[in-house]
């Protein structure tokens, strides 16, 4: 019996879901549909299947601790969390996973983006079972989504003749790029075109052999990076230089559009890639007026809109077909028809060298998080939360002093070699240039207020001498 190993691709930034999705906290790590993140939803829908084994997650270095924490929260022990030194699109990322798994007997790779919605999980499981026989026989199987509308934002797959002996599995007639509306309408009318889902099932050795045939440079560089991989805590790091020299290409361009082994299984599974706020509105529960609401929201005379509040009360009156997304430091207001233009805001923020596209005021770290409260000339105030048993690096600052006030929990503070325990309502001072460390020795989260003062308050003014998490 084939062993299905999920390979979860957790890269990407999801810029069309700004201001919620940002570089430091992209959409796959956010709870957009439920109380679980998109990554967690992806894992939960497949991890209990009979033939499914422990997953491999491929992600970027900046998100490694968040990914690991989200798997831990689900009590999922991954086969590996592989770190891409740089983004090189899907073909190299899948190649690295295939090299890890090529010696696993009867392994089939179920490649899944971490940020898709699938509402009919049972139908998806049945589709994977149908596809597994063809994949075990050497086919590179993709899943074509039954189109519900002439969508111009997706690529399409045309199905060909049915594969002999494999019910519900077809030859791929052709892959086509995102069409204009007239072309998309003709695809829908033809009945043999499907949306390209970006999900795949195949044997790792077959994938690598076809990639070697059509894009040998990718295989060469990823193989070098894989051979020189090294373990860093719970993470498998691909060697940086070799991987960065791999061509950047998607699996569609690199293999699927060229191979003779491509096959497609058409499915109707309630799929959505949540590529925009309008797409999110479509898959969320809505009230009787067609509104998708999340957070502290008041509506009066509002129809067919998405309103999301993350940090404060939002009141909306007398509008239709509107997107309103509020976060602690930014607010988006847009007509639903302009949802795809949100990426222009991100481009503007990059051009102006602002930070609202990079991170939220609350920034997550492996030990907990910190959040900016106030800032001005030569001072900055932050809230800090340290998880039980965790500690910050042993560090020093050249340009700032710090005052710490414990709000709740216990803080073990080391300053220039001297360690002292602080409790609620107690405080301490760290002079400029002092070597110091903060840790939580208790069983409850530690909350404190940090007041920084000095001529430069940037996060890069940190000299680390020792770090539990291997950060330089």
Across residues 34-59, what is the average pLDDT?
A: 95
| pLDDT at site 149 | 86
In terms of Cβ atoms closer than 10 Å to its own Cβ (0-12, 13-18, 19+), residue 305 is buried
Residues in the chain: 472
Pairing of strands 322-326, 331-335: antiparallel
* Adjacency order of strands within the sheet including 362-365: 362-365, 368-376, 379-386, 446-454, 400-408, 427-430
Residue bearing tokens 């060229």: 258
Pairing of strands 3-10, 56-60: parallel
pLDDT digits (tens, 9 = 90+) for 126-136: 999 999 999 99
Q: Torsion angle, CA of 133/137/139/144, rounded to 10 degrees?
A: -10
Across residues 361-375, what is the average pLDDT?
A: 93
Across residues 424-436, what is the average pLDDT?
A: 96
- Adjacent-strand bridge partners of 320: 303
| pLDDT at site 23 | 93
Minimal CA–CA distance to 29: which of 56, 78, 68, 55? Answer: 68
| pLDDT at site 470 | 81
Residues whose CB is less than 8 angstroms from the CB of residue 238 and which lie 6 or more positions away in sequence, other chains included: 82, 83, 84, 85, 96, 222, 225, 226, 229
Across residues 159-176, what is the average pLDDT?
A: 91
| pLDDT at site 472 | 67
pLDDT digits (tens, 9 = 90+) for 377-427: 999 999 999 999 999 999 999 999 999 999 999 999 999 999 999 999 999
Q: Lowest mean pLDDT: which of 165-169, 340-344, 346-350?
A: 165-169
Confidence of residue 2 (pLDDT cuts 50, 70, 90): confident
pLDDT digits (tens, 9 = 90+) for 62-116: 999 999 999 999 999 999 999 999 999 999 999 999 999 999 999 999 999 999 9
| pLDDT at site 386 | 97
Assess contact for 208 and 219: CB atoms under 8 A.
Answer: yes
High-pLDDT (> 70) share of the chain, %? 100
Q: pTM for the whole thing?
A: 0.90
Confidence of residue 11 (pLDDT cuts 50, 70, 90): confident
| pLDDT at site 352 | 96
pLDDT digits (tens, 9 = 90+) for 310-347: 999 999 999 999 999 999 999 999 999 999 999 999 99
Q: Output the average pLDDT for the chain.
A: 94
pLDDT digits (tens, 9 = 90+) for 209-243: 999 999 999 999 999 999 999 998 889 999 999 99
Minimal CA–CA distance to 346: which of 126, 17, 78, 55? Answer: 17
Across residues 422-444, what is the average pLDDT?
A: 97
Three-state secondary structure along the chain?
A: CCEEEEEEEECCCCHHHCCCCECCECHHHCCCCCCCCHHHHHHHHHCCCCCECCCEEEEEHHHHHHHHHHHHHCCCCCCEEEEECCCCCHHHHHHHHHHHHCCCCCEEEEEEECCCEECCHHHHHHHHHHHHHHHHCCCEEEEEECCCCCCCCCCEEEEEEECCCCCCCEEEEEEECCCCHHHHHHHHHHCCEEEEEEEEEECHHHHHHHHHHHCHHHHHHHHHHHHCCEEECCEEECCHHHHHCCCCCCHHHHHHCCCCCEEEEEECCCEECCCCHHHHHHHCCCCCCCCEEECCEEEECCECCEEEECCCCEEEECCECEEEEECCCCEEEEEHHHHHHHHHHHHHHHHCCCCCCCCCCEEEECCEEEEEEEEECCEEEEEEEECCCCECCEEECCCEEEEEEEEECCEEEEECCEEEEECCCCEEEECCCCCEEEECCCCCCEEEEEEEEECCCCCCCCEEEECCCCCC
Which residue segments constitute the domains of the chain, with CATH numbers given?
Answer: 3-272 (3.90.550.10), 285-347 (no CATH), 362-466 (2.60.120.10)
| pLDDT at site 341 | 94
pLDDT at 276 over 80: yes
Q: Lowest mean pLDDT: which of 87-101, 162-176, 381-395, 431-445?
A: 162-176
Compute the distance between CA of residue 346 and CA of residue 358 in angstroms, rounded to an integer.
Answer: 9
Peptide bond into 132 cis (omega under 30): no
Residue bearing tokens 């709870």: 31
Across residues 48-68, what is the average pLDDT?
A: 94
Q: Mutual orientation of helices 204-214 and 90-101 as an angle, nearest 10°?
A: 130
Minimal CA–CA distance to 393: which of 437, 361, 360? Answer: 437
Confidence of residue 121 (pLDDT cuts 50, 70, 90): very high
């Amino acid at each position: 019996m084939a062993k299905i190993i999920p390979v979860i691709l957790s890269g990407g930034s999801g810029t069309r879901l700004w201001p919620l999705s940002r570089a430091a906290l992209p959409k796959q790590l956010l709870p957009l549909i439920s109380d679980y993140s998109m990554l967690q939803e992806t894992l939960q829908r497949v991890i209990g299947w009979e033939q499914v084994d422990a997953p491999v997650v491929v992600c970027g270095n900046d998100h490694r601790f968040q990914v690991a924490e989200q798997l831990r929260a689900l009590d999922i022990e991954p086969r590996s969390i592989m770190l891409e030194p740089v983004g090189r699109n899907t073909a190299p990322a899948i190649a690295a996973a295939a090299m890890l798994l090529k010696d696993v007997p009867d392994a089939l790779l179920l490649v899944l983006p971490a940020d898709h919605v699938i509402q009919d999980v049972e139908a998806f499981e049945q589709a994977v079972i149908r596809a597994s026989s063809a994949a075990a026989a050497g086919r590179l199987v993709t899943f074509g989504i039954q189109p519900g509308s002439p969508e111009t934002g997706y690529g399409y797959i045309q199905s060909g003749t049915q594969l002999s002996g494999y019910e519900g599995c077809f030859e791929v007639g052709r892959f086509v790029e995102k069409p204009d509306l007239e072309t998309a309408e003709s695809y829908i009318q033809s009945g043999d075109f499907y949306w390209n889902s970006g999900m795949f099932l195949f044997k790792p050795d077959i994938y690598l052999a076809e990639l070697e045939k059509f894009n040998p440079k990718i295989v060469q560089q990823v193989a070098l990076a894989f051979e020189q991989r090294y373990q860093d805590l719970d993470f498998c790091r691909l060697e940086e230089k070799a991987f960065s020299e791999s061509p950047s290409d998607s699996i569609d361009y690199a293999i699927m559009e060229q191979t003779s082994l491509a096959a497609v299984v058409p499915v109707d599974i309630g799929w959505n890639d949540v590529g925009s706020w309008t797409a999110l509105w479509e898959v969320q529960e809505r009230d009787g007026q067609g509104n998708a609401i999340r957070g502290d929201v008041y509506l009066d005379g509002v129809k067919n809109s998405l309103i999301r509040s993350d940090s404060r009360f939002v009141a909306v009156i007398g509008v239709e077909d509107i997107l309103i997304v509020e976060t602690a430091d930014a607010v988006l207001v847009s007509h639903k028809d302009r949802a795809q233009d949100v990426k222009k805001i991100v481009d503007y923020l990059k051009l102006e060298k602002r930070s609202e596209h990079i991170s939220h005021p609350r920034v997550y770290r492996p030990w907990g998080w910190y959040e900016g409260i106030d800032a001005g000339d030569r001072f900055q105030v932050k809230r800090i939360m340290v998880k039980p048993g965790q500690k910050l690096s042993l560090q020093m600052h050249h340009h700032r002093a710090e005052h710490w006030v414990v709000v709740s929990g216990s803080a073990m503070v080391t300053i220039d070699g001297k360690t002292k325990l602080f409790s609620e309502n107690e405080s301490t001072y760290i002079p400029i240039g002092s070597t110091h460390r903060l840790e939580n020795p208790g069983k409850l989260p530690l909350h404190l207020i940090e007041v920084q003062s000095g001529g430069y308050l940037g996060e890069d003014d940190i000299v680390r001498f020792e770090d539990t998490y291997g950060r330089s």
